[in-house]
Each structure stands twice: as C-alpha cells, then as structure tokens.
Structure 1
Amino acid sequence: MLTLSPDLSWFRNLRSPIAPPEWDYTPTPLVMRGGDPHIRALMRTISASESNSPRPYSILYGGQHLQDLSRHPDLCITIVSGPNAGDCTTAAGRYQMLTTTWYSKAKAYHPRSPFLFFSQDYSFEAEYQDEVVYHWLNDPSAWGVDLAELLRDGQIHEVLRILSPTWTSLGYGIETNSMSSFLPEIYQEMLAEELRGS
C-alpha cells in the first residue's frame, strides 16, 4: 500500500526542461467538467510530467506559449536533449500531442467531429484537449484494457507502463524526466483532489 507524505512541497524544487521558473508542483485542474475521477486524476498526472506549466493548454515543447488555440499549431521545434536530440517535434498543449496524434484522436473523440469536414478545423482549445484525451483514455479498445478499471484496482504503475509508449516521460519509456519517479504519488494526490470535487 502506498503511503503518501502529508506534504508534497518537495515537488516545487523539481524542474523539467520545459518548466518555467514559476512552475508549481500541483497540476492545474482540468477545464473539462465531469467524468470519472480516476481518469481525470490520470490526465492531471500525465500533464505533470508532460507540460509542467501553470498554463499547460497553450505550451509548446521548449516552453513557449501559443496565443491561438483554434487548431493544433503544427510547429516543428528542434529537440535539444535526449535520444531524439536534433530531430524536431510538434508536441503541444497540456498533453504534448503531436500534430498527427491530435488529428487522429480528434477524428475519433473530438465532441464536434461529426460536424466537421476538414481535420484542420478541430479546435485545440483547452476544453477540447481535455475531452479528446479523456475519451481516448476511457476507450478500452484503444489500449487493449480498461484503464479506469485498473486505476480503481490501484494499478497506477501498470497504467503508466501501458501509456509510456505514447507519453515517453511517464517512467517506463525512453525519455524519463525528474517527475517520472514521483508520478504514482502525484496520481494519488490528484485522485484525492478529484474525489473531493466529485
């Protein structure tokens, strides 16, 4: 059984390569309303490792922020460290989704997708980032397993392992960061907060 320290203030001293100086350890609440608190806590945990910003929905790889969220920015930014250094990435937003991933998942899960004719019209506004990722994580056919059920069974390590090929900073992939080893504890903290709010 995981025992949480009563105070997670030690997170404040951690920094990832994209964390601005004002970063606070607590992942900001989701814009999206409702939903399974276990999946919501998982989403906040993913963003703790992937976006590390008090303004996570507008962040690009490298720490710059977008002004226009009407669509995925599709900006290719050079990767400065790690196994993919020198390549470029289009990772953007709270969940650092690549352009191709965003369009693929928006087509399947964007709440407005039945009414859109062109993929570039998928809004990248905060609520839609949350909605797309929420429905993706909640789709057992996407992962081969029911992630919400695993989370309810206390298997956060297994869930992070399953998601690591998609979000490589989660602790089992090729690009762990200073947050990776703390993610199970962050998840528990976020879950307690989400359960209080539901």
Structure 2
Amino acid sequence: MISKNILKTFILVLILLAVGRILIRDKEPQLKRAGQQIISNITQNYNIEPLEMEGGNPYIRALMRTISASEANSDRPYNIIYGGRHIDNLKQHPNQCIVIGNGPNRGRCSTAAGRYQFLNTTWAEKAELYHPRPSGFLRKNYSFEPIYQDEVLYSWLRDANAWGGRDITKLLEQGQIDLVLELLSPTWTSLGYGIENNSITKSLPNIYKKMLEEELMNAGSSYYLY
C-alpha cells in the first residue's frame, strides 16, 4: 500500500513536470531565435571569405568555403601555411614543412598551405590533373595563386571518379551535406568523422547552409534550395 507521503511526492513531481513543459513551450520561440543567433554568430566570427574564382556551381562553391572555414580561418586564407603564418610568394606551393605540435600527428611535419591546406604532394598530384594554366615546357610549374587554388579544388570536387564514383554535386543538391563531409573527412580531417576535429567542426553543416544561401543568391534563379 502506498503511503500518503509517497503519493503526495508523486503528485508534486507530476505538477512540476507539467509546469516545466508549459514553460518550455512558452519559451520555444525565444529558444529558436537564440539557436539561430548562435549560428549567425558562428558564421560571423569566422572569416569565410568569398572565393577568388568566378562562376561555377553554387553548391560546390559553398562547400569550398565551408572547407576553408575549418581549415584556414584567416582574413588571408590563400596565404596561410600550417601553424598560422602567412606567406606572400604564391608562384608555387611553398612546401615548408612545419613541425606539428599537438594532436595524433605530433612530432611529424606538415606542408599544408593555402585556403584548402593542400599538402605539397597533394597539390602536385591534383594540379597536374586539374590546373587550368600550368607554365613551363619540359618541367611544368603550377602557380599557387588564389584563383588556381580555387580552380584546382573546384575541378577535383566535381570529378566523381576522384571520390569513388560519388557525385558530390548531386549529393549536395539532394541536401546530403553530412554524407559529403564524411566522404571528404579522410582528406580534410577537421571536417568531422576523422582524427582532428576542431572547435568549428560541429558547426560546419550550419555554416554550409549559410554559405549556400549566399552562393545561391549570387547565382540567381537558375539554382534552388533543397
């Protein structure tokens, strides 16, 4: 048999739960606005510069800006090298090996450079495939100027054969940004699903949506939001 004290306590708990639900329901609009403000603050607090290249698919352009938000948070993203220092000479990939101070690769060195933190070996491989205007005759030189960083990455992302037959453009147009980030995370480990998440990793899907809104607006009526 339930005692009167236990019954009173049970009734009090039910009343408190009911009041709590009412308060939360009344606060839902404010909580929603607060969440939207947090997302807005995230995108404003990170330097997500426009691309140097013009034109192209807005979904891929938004993805490129999202990658750079995580990989090269700087007001000069095209000039940054691993560790945060900036360089001025972009005639070619800088190929400066900087010792990694923390994380799973501590003690090794990284040649990551530019807006998309291309390793020297990755740049050499992808530039040979996608660079639109290499110079030189016997020995090709692949300029690392901002527009070429953009154009090489853009072509790489658009090449389904480079991603195991997965068409990244179609995935993005279907709204599958999480799947795309997972697909790219072995290449850019800060995108989530990898070994080196950072403080912005969890915000990347929301950042992508914000970037996509901007890119679709700039592209005009020929594209649509999912």
How high is the TM-score relative to the length of structure 1? 0.88
Q: Give the unaligned 5+ runs of structure 1.
A: 13-22
Which of 37, 41, 54 is matched with 1:10 structurally? 41
* Structure 1 position 5, deviation (Å): 1.8
SS class of match (1:8): helix
Residue 128 of structure 1 aligns with an amino acid whose one-letter code is Y
SS class of match (1:129): helix
| Structure 2: distance between partners of 1:24 and 1:178 | 12
Larger Rg: 2
Is the deviation greater in 132-141 or in 3-12?
A: 3-12
SS class of match (1:5): helix
* Structure 1 position 113, deviation (Å): 3.7
Q: Give the unaligned 5+ runs of structure 2.
A: 1-31, 220-226
| Structure 2: distance between partners of 1:162 and 1:116 | 36
Q: Could you say which structure has the greater relative contact order, defined with CA pairs below 8 angstroms and 6 or more residues apart?
A: 1
User: Which residue of 2 is the match for residue 139 of structure 1?
Assistant: 159
Residue 130 of structure 1 aligns with an amino acid whose one-letter code is D
CA contact (8 A) 1:170 1:176 kept: yes
User: Which residue of 2 is the match for residue 53 of structure 1?
Assistant: 74
SS class of match (1:103): helix
* Structure 1 position 85, deviation (Å): 0.7
Residue 171 of structure 2 aligns with an amino acid whose one-letter code is L
| Structure 2: distance between partners of 1:130 and 1:74 | 18
* Structure 1 position 54, deviation (Å): 1.0
| Structure 2: distance between partners of 1:192 and 1:82 | 34
SS class of match (1:160): helix
Alignment of 1:47-86 (within 5 A): 47-86=68-107
How high is the TM-score relative to the length of structure 2? 0.78
| Structure 2: distance between partners of 1:133 and 1:26 | 19
User: Which residue of 2 is the match for residue 170 of structure 1?
Assistant: 191
| Structure 1: distance between partners of 2:61 and 2:189 | 19
CA contact (8 A) 1:24 1:54 kept: no
- Does 2:53 match 1:32? yes
**How many aligned residue pairs are there?**
185
Q: Identity of paired residues, percent?
A: 57
| Structure 2: distance between partners of 1:116 and 1:194 | 37
In structure 2, do the counterparts of structure 1 residues 5 and 59 end up closer, same or farther at CA, with 3 Å as the change threshold? same
SS class of match (1:57): helix
| Structure 2: distance between partners of 1:135 and 1:123 | 16
Residue 180 of structure 2 aligns with an amino acid whose one-letter code is V
